Amino acid sequence: MALAFDEYGRPFIIIREQDKKSRLRGLDAQKANITAGKAVARILRTSLGPKGMDKMLQSPDGDVTITNDGATILEQMDVDNQIAKLMVELSRSQDYEIGDGTTGVVVLAGALLEQAEKLLERGIHPVRIAEGYEMASRIAVEHLEHIAQKFEYSASNIEPLVQTCMTTLSSKIVSRCKRTIAEIAVKAVLAVADLERKDVNLDLIKVEGKVGGKLEDTELIYGILVDKDMSHPQMPKRIEDAKIAILTCPFEPPKPKTKHKVDIDTVEKFQTLRHQEQKYFNDMVQKCKDVGATLVICQWGFDDEANHLLMHHNLPAVRWVGGVELELIAIATGGRIVPRFQELTPEKLGKAGIVREKSFGTTKDRMLYIEQCANSRAVTIFIRGGNKMMIEETKRSLHDALCVARNLIRNNFIVYGGGSAEISCSIAVESGADGYPGVEQYAIRSFAEALDSIPMALAENSGLQPIETLSAVKSQHIKEKTPFCGIDCNDVGTNNMQEQFVFETLIGKRQQILLATQVVKMILKIDDVISPSDY
């Protein structure tokens, strides 16, 4: 920390406890920041693309996560450096906005920082670099919109949507049955989508997982799946044309709020009390029967007596159902959540075509399926898998696929994947650089080089010769003037991404370029880092 001295040579304090703080300024600060950003990007670089590697992360309490979803890796990594935290935020915002492309956006930002470092060493001012990057990102986004293709789909022809979801899933652990999962994701999104408003509420899609079975057993249920069973083993396991009472009040006698005690000194008093209680229970069960309910779903528990009475009156019941699940059941069956028995009316009952209990494997695990509901706008995806980690990773992959399907319904333009969009933008930015006379020209060319890092990483991860492969594809782009040629990661034998059906959403790609540029500009403009030094 540089000390300030007065005219007599005595040091005086400007920053509190300045001797305990460390300070980086100027070029050193920028280089330190760039190194931190590059380090994060290097971790994710190997997990880009269909042949990308997975990362295994262990949390402080011993939970293990295996994933190659960029946002999850960075969330769990527990980063300490401030600039590295910016990279974590970057992938998180891509995840919130688009849901897919979280690895690519960090790799792109890392490449831009790497190029900026070379320019800084040549003595170019960081602000000029940032301005050059801004211009270049504008050229790239314009070019993306120019090469994007409109993409026709309808509720009856879902094949294009499925193809795009398969591209997302091909880089995940579930790629061996990506076709099935992509179809499930698309059908789920179309079931809850409002196609006129081009809006999809992903909250209506519930994703449940259960260890056991195999990944191919994953299914889409047009209804709700509840991880509960009937409260009494002798209640019927299958109810057709069910009328469901959804209650948030417990099946037990009311308790006064004040403190009280009841003195019972004779048998008669005890009998009276017992009869009174029984009357309460009888009334409750009778109220449910009177409105025509054939199934009771309750948020709270009920004691054995109530359970016995319900069994006796032939009224199946489910207890301890969570609040979120109750809401989804209410949405799906068109019922109302009833807080008091007095308010039960036939109009407030939900309707379902079939409610059945299903048991799994040799364990006593049972789940309740509520299907053929009055309002099919709530669906459940039920995942099976060999172990817990597999199910968690499948949930994350499904989330990405659901987001891609949602983005296509919002904006149905696509670009081609496999690095082809980046190579095409890189060529456009390179040729656009000649139109700028100033120092920014260098930064624009560097931006074009940074865009090449994505196809380069794809080729590297697929075990191909990165530089040879990239230059071959690039020359093909320039010769044939087609924006469809990408890296052939899966060794299909063709570079044409149109034939391989590798699509990505336009809004996803555009967001990647814009977000990465914003973060890099922000990092380049920092020239002084004051931090408490470690003692």
Q: From CA 505, how far away is CA 98, in angstroms rounded?
A: 9
pLDDT digits (tens, 9 = 90+) for 384-405: 888 888 888 888 888 888 888 8
pLDDT digits (tens, 9 = 90+) for 349-372: 888 888 888 887 767 778 888 888
Question: Of all helices (H) and strands (E), which one includes residue 351?
Answer: strand 350-359
- Which of 95, 100, 400, 488 is labelled catalytic? 400
Q: Is 103 a catalytic residue?
A: yes
Which member of 46, 65, 67, 103 is catalytic?
A: 103
Two structure tokens written together for 44: 């994710």
Q: Are strands 238-247 and 295-298 parallel, antiparallel or unpaired?
A: parallel
Q: Say whether 452 is catalytic.
A: no
69 is catalytic: yes
Distance, in Å, from the CA atom of 444 to the CA atom of 427, rounded to the nearest integer, reads: 11
> Which is catalytic among the residues 65, 102, 380, 469?
102
Mean pLDDT value across residues 83-93: 88
Asked if the model's pLDDT at residue 418 lies above 60, the reply is yes
Residue 374 vs residue 353, higher pLDDT: 353
Across the range 497-521, mean pLDDT stands at 88
SS (H, E, C) 400-420: HHHHHHHHHHHCCEEEECCCH
Would you say 295 and 244 are in contact if contact means Cβ atoms under 8 Å apart? Answer: yes
Q: Has residue 165 got a pLDDT over 90?
A: no
Burial of 321 (0-12, 13-18, 19+ CB in 10 A): buried
* pLDDT above 60: residue 1: no
The single-letter DSSP state of residue 4 is: E
> If DSSP states are collapsed to H, E and C, what string results for 488-523?
CCCCCCCCEHHHHCCEEEHHHHHHHHHHHHHHHHHH
- Can you give the pLDDT at residue 376? 66
- Token pair belonging to 27: 């070029």
Predicted confidence (pLDDT) per residue in 227-246, tens digit: 888 888 888 888 888 888 88
The one catalytic residue among 46, 65, 67, 69: 69
Q: Can you give the pLDDT at residue 17? A: 67
Q: What is the pLDDT of residue 273?
A: 83
User: Among this protein's residues, is 266 annotated catalytic?
Assistant: no
Please tell me what DSSP assigns to residue 52. P
Average pLDDT value for residue range 102-122: 91
